[in-house]
Structure 1
Amino acid sequence: MLLCGHTFCEPCYESCATTSESVCPLDGDICGRDDVSTKEYPAEQLLRRKVHCWNKVYGCGVILPASQIAEHVRDHCQHHATCCPTCSAAVLCSDVCAHLKTRCTQLVLHTAPEPQPREDDNEGTNLEALAKMMKQQVGELDAKLARLSFKADSLSDKLSEICINNNDFKEALTAHFVQASGRNLADMKAIYSEKSESLMTAITSALTLVSSDAKTHQRVIRGYAELKEKASKDGRSESMSDKVYLRRYLMSWGIVFSKDGEGVGLSLRIELYEGREDDFLEWPFTKQFKLSVIHPETREELDRFATPDSSDYLRDCFCRPIDGSNTPIHFSHETRIESSDLESDGYVDRDQLLLRLEVLL
Structure 2
Amino acid sequence: MQYTLVGFSTELDWRPLHFVKPIPLHMVCEACGLVRKRTALLPCMHALCESCYEQSARDDVHICPLDGHQSDVDEVSLREFPVDELLRREVKCWNEGTIPTGSMQYTLVGFSAELDWRPLHFVKPIPSYRVCCACGLVRQKTALLSCSHTLCVSCYELSAQGSVCVCPRDGHHCDREDVELKKCPDDEVLKRKVKCWNEGSGCKAVLPASQITQHFHRECRHHSIRCPKCSAAVLSSEVWAHLESECCTTTATPAGSECQGDSGRKEETALLTSFRKILQEQIDEIKTFMERILTGIGANSDGLNEVAHWVNNCQETLRGELKEAISNLQRTVRQEGIQVRTERRDCGEQCCDEVAAVNEETKERRSASKDARSPISESTNALDEPLRDDFAKMATEKSDKCLQTAEGSEMLTDEVEESSIPSRERPTGGRAPYTYCSLNHISVEDLIRDGYVEDDQLRVKFEFLT
TM-score, normalised via structure 1 length = 0.36
Structure with the largest fraction of helix: 2
Larger relative strand fraction = 1
Larger Rg belongs to:
2
**Structure possessing the higher relative contact order (Cα contacts under 8 Å, 6 or more residues apart):** 1
